């Protein structure tokens, strides 16, 4: 079954540690996204990618990096975690199926999220 997977689901780490949040999708989508969401708040775009070797920064990207070496894999790395990084991180992927008028609803898929706590 096609899906999008995030690991770890929950992570508690100390300040200064380097962490990588994994995101993989099996749908062959070209577009992938990372979002940060605090409880009850809106999603903020961190990074996005149009395809292999293509990455762009979003609004909150300055303290993290991403890579897109394979279509299915889009990991997010925090080089030095801080308490301000405590949040939920959501990965998503999307693809257009032309013509749009006949596309199904599920062309934007989210992972279950990675909840990070930095002590």
Partner 1 sequence: KNEVEQSPQNLTAQEGEFITINCSYSVGISALHWLQQHPGGGIVSLFMLSSGKKKHGRLIATINIQEKHSSLHITASHPRDSAVYICAVMMGDTDKLIFGTGTRLQVFP
Task: List interacting residues with partner 1 (CB under 8 A).
Answer: 31, 33, 35, 37, 42-43, 45, 48, 50, 56, 58, 88, 90, 92, 94, 96, 100-101, 103, 105-110, 112-113
Q: CB of 25 within 8 A of CB of 5?
A: yes
Specify the residue, 69 or 105, whose C-beta has the smaller distance to partner 1. 105
Shortest CB 15 distance to partner 1, Å: 24
Query: CB of residue 43 vs partner 1: minimum separation in angstroms?
Result: 5
* 42-45-50-53 Cα dihedral, nearest 10 degrees: -150
Q: State in angstroms the smallest separation of the CB of 64 from partner 1.
A: 17
Question: How far is 101 from 31, CA to CA, in rounded Å?
Answer: 20
17 preceded by a cis bond (ω within 30 of 0): no
- Residue 22: phi and psi, rounded to 5, are -95, 145
User: Is 75 or 113 the residue whose CB approaches partner 1 more closely?
Assistant: 113
């Amino acid at each position: 079954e096609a899906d999008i997977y995030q690991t770890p689901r929950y992570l508690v780490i100390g300040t200064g540690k380097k962490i990588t949040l994994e995101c993989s999708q099996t749908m062959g989508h070209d577009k992938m996204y990372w979002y940060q969401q605090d409880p009850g708040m809106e999603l903020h775009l961190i990074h996005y990618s149009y395809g292999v070797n293509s990455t762009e920064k979003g609004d909150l990207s300055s303290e993290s990096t991403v890579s897109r070496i394979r279509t299915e894999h889009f990991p997010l790395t925090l080089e030095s975690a801080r308490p301000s990084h405590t949040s939920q991180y959501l990965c998503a992927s999307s693809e257009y199926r032309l013509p749009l008028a006949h596309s199904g609803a599920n062309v934007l898929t989210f992972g279950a999220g990675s909840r990070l706590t930095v002590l």
